């Protein structure tokens, strides 16, 4: 009996050894290394809003959050003249049926609102006489140049013309007693497109500074093509972008910055607008002739 057990045990071990000798050896296969990380896609370099120049100067912010433009904080008694100047620029610069409508309404306003407009002009001159003394005429010329320059900012013209047309359409229905208040409100509306542009330009400058800090100022940029076709055949196509277009020199016509800028030029003739004529070597505003 003992011999039988011993035989069976030996036979079992023999079978196990035989099976083990027939099994294929196990190979340790290392996993392939992960593909290298794809390069970061470089977003386009921010560009100025509304097709503006990269050298546009933005007015400083006032304490109330608004921009220190020539229309900021205008006294109510002076608002009609600032409104008149804006509609004058719109009548000269806006085109098509819109421009024709503004021109007709503007000429009618000059006749119907002659007294409040004259009073507004007198109020501006009286304030400048008090502030500037014998230099008031130069200060007045500079302010009017600055005012027309403000309304002529090229990127804002589409919205400016649309706003001017809406104001011109409402003005005839305003009675004489309500015109001063209308002028204050209309001036705020006429200035709003410019304030919106300056706010957008401020945002552009922040975005540009962030982009430059992350991707490098002036360095050639590369764009990665995403996604790759497969993990094994991962590939990145890099495309050299053309160099940035050099910034043009600032145009005096759109380089307005603050209420004091033109004072520093002492009667600068930098303005380029159709509502100005040269008079004794300086710029003077003129009215559109009334139509019969």
Burial 198-220 (b: 16+ CB within 10 A, else e): bbbbeebeeebeebeeeeeeeee
Which pLDDT belongs to residue 289? 44
Confidence (pLDDT) at 119: 98
Q: Which of 136, 106, 95, 21 is nearest to 290 (CA)?
A: 106
pLDDT at 53: 93
Block mean pLDDT (10 aa), the chain, length 292: 57 56 62 83 93 94 94 97 98 95 96 97 97 95 96 97 97 97 98 97 95 75 41 35 38 36 36 37 41 42
* Tokens read off for 130: 């008090």
* Residue from 264, 256, 262 nearest 283 by CA: 262
Residue whose structure tokens are 């009675």 = 175
Tokens coding 179: 């015109």
Rounded Cα distance between 89 and 113, Å, is 18
CA atoms within 13 A on the CB side of 281: 3
Task: Determine the pLDDT at residue 22.
Answer: 57
**How many Cα atoms are found within 13 Å in the side-chain-facing hemisphere of 258?**
6
pTM, two decimals, is: 0.64
Query: pLDDT value at position 34?
Result: 85
Using CA atoms, how far residue 129 sits from 118, 123, 124, 126, 137, in Å, is 16, 10, 9, 5, 8
Residues 231, 153: Cα–Cα separation, whole Å: 53
């Amino acid at each position: 009996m003992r011999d039988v057990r011993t035989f069976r045990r030996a036979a079992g071990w023999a079978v196990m050894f035989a099976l083990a000798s027939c099994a294929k050896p196990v190979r340790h296969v290392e996993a392939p290394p992960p593909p290298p990380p794809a390069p970061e896609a470089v977003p386009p370099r921010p560009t100025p809003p509304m097709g503006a120049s990269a050298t546009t100067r933005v007015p400083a912010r006032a304490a109330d959050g608004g921009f220190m433009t020539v229309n900021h904080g205008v006294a109510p008694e002076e608002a009609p003249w600032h409104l008149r100047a804006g509609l004058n620029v719109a009548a000269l610069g806006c085109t098509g049926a819109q421009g024709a409508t503004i021109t007709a309404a503007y000429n009618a306003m000059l006749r119907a609102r002659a007294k409040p407009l004259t009073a507004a002009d007198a109020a501006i001159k009286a304030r400048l006489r008090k502030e500037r003394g014998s230099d008031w005429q130069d200060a007045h010329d500079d302010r009017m140049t600055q005012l027309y320059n403000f309304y002529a900012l090229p990127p804002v013209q589409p919205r400016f013309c649309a706003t001017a047309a809406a104001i011109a359409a409402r003005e005839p229905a305003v009675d004489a007693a309500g015109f001063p208040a209308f002028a204050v409100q209309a001036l705020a509306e006429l200035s709003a497109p410019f304030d919106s542009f300056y706010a957008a330009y401020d945002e552009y400058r922040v975005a540009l500074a962030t982009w430059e800090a992350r991707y490098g100022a002036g360095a050639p940029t590369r764009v990665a093509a995403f996604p790759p076709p497969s993990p094994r055949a991962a590939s990145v196509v890099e495309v050299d972008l053309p160099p940035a277009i050099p910034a043009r020199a600032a145009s005096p016509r759109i380089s307005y910055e603050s209420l004091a800028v033109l004072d520093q030029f002492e009667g600068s003739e930098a303005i380029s607008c159709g509502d100005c004529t040269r008079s004794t070597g300086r710029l003077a505003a003129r009215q559109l002739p009334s139509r019969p």
